[in-house]
Chain A
């Protein structure tokens, strides 16, 4: 065990499973499934001639859909008032970073500008 957060995990709903065991089980299961996805058609090709469009068409929408579902709830929290929602430092920083991502398509620039904007509002403007 390596510290307080892990200790808290052990006492959680993991059913007696140690925190480190929990982490390793997650890593292994995710790793095996991910490798299976990677190997799927690279392995199968030769047995089947062409990948059916029924499989490839919906997959095209997985990246934008999953990424948007991941990122938006981290930036936007619905508050009692519109003003409180719009004056959140994470939403402002996210909006600025979104413009940078769109104009530059550069991960580094997006992170740098996004973090700088967050700090500007958190430590200067809203302080």
Chain B
């Protein structure tokens, strides 16, 4: 839970750096509510990238939510449509990870209460962090390079995501290709790197069997 505080602050700082006002920064944190994609979108908005590239990049980053949705869906299968629609809104990496771990350990627990408690707390911390980040970000000189915290956040998320051979191979290949392809127009290097990484991960997995 406390791990997302610096992440939220960085989202606010990056919003200021990209030229967003407080309303836009908070609007993004409420409507999108997905840190990595917010940071990527802000980076691209700040560098005046075409709208399609901004949206496309952020959307690609969030495709992983489909995986969380698929994985957690069986626990919510008995609930009504409206409750499920509400639960979906607070689905994040953290809410997913701690809830699934808890459901497996304590099967007797109310699924929606535990998950919503986790998701709503994360939501509140995220919104407060964004506001504080906007205020802080507006007061710190550019020379400090505060936006360097953005790749550091990604790095802190990347390392635990590389947890076995196929995921590590995916990360290494994606990173290498993205560096080489960094000069491509429309930020296509990111997409080429990511797709290469996913394919390398699948091939590595297939070879291990």
Contacts and interface: CB of A to CB of B under 8 A. Distances in A.
Report if A and B associate in a common complex.
yes
B116 to A, nearest CB: 13
Interface residues of A, number: 79
A37 B174 contact: no
Interface in A59-77: 59-77
Interface in B43-84: 45-46, 48, 50-51, 54-55, 58-74, 76-77, 81, 84
Given A9-B48, A59-B67, A64-B197, A72 B157 contact: no
Interface string B104-124: 000000000000000000000
Contact of A58 (B74, B153, B155, B198): B198
Interface string B1-40: 0111111001000000011110010011001111011001
Given A64-B161, A72-B178, A110 B152 contact: yes
B161 A67 contact: yes
B182 A67 contact: no
A81 interface: no
Nearest to B24: A23
Interface in A70-106: 70-78, 90, 93-94, 97-98, 101-102, 105-106
A122 B148 CA distance: 12
B76 to A, nearest CB: 6
B50 to A, nearest CB: 6
B91 interface: yes
